[in-house]
Amino acid sequence: MSLIDEALACLAHAVPVGTRLIVFGSCARGDADVDSDLDLLVVEPVVPDRFTEMARLSALLGRRLIPADVVVMSAAHFERQKTMVNTLAWRASREGLVHECAA
């Protein structure tokens, strides 16, 4: 199982329905090496406290020893930012591998 598959399996049932998990960075581009971690943007329908959610999801991945940088943002924030050049949302929307969480 790949690092991406492990992370997606770990988080799929830990996030709200309608969440998008977007893998970006070296893993998405295909140029990751043995020292690379997983860059993951978690776009949830509503995010009451993004820092608490980032800590929660990072801890879930950490328990499985999955090296990842996790950023959480609301769907509304992502939609506003994805066309703004050089924002995280812009970069993730351009190079990211999107995985929808239906359940």
pLDDT, tens digit (0-9, with 9 covering 90-100), for 79-97: 999 999 999 999 999 999 9
What's the predicted TM-score (pTM) here?
A: 0.91
pLDDT in tens, 12-49: 999 999 999 999 988 888 887 888 789 999 999 999 99
The whole-angstrom separation of Cα 10 and Cα 30 is 21
Please report, for the domain that includes residue 76, its CATH number: 3.30.460.10
User: What is the domain extent for residue 7?
Assistant: 3-101
Total domain count, the chain: 1
Q: Which two tokens stand for residue 71?
A: 């950023």
DSSP letter assigned to residue 34 = T
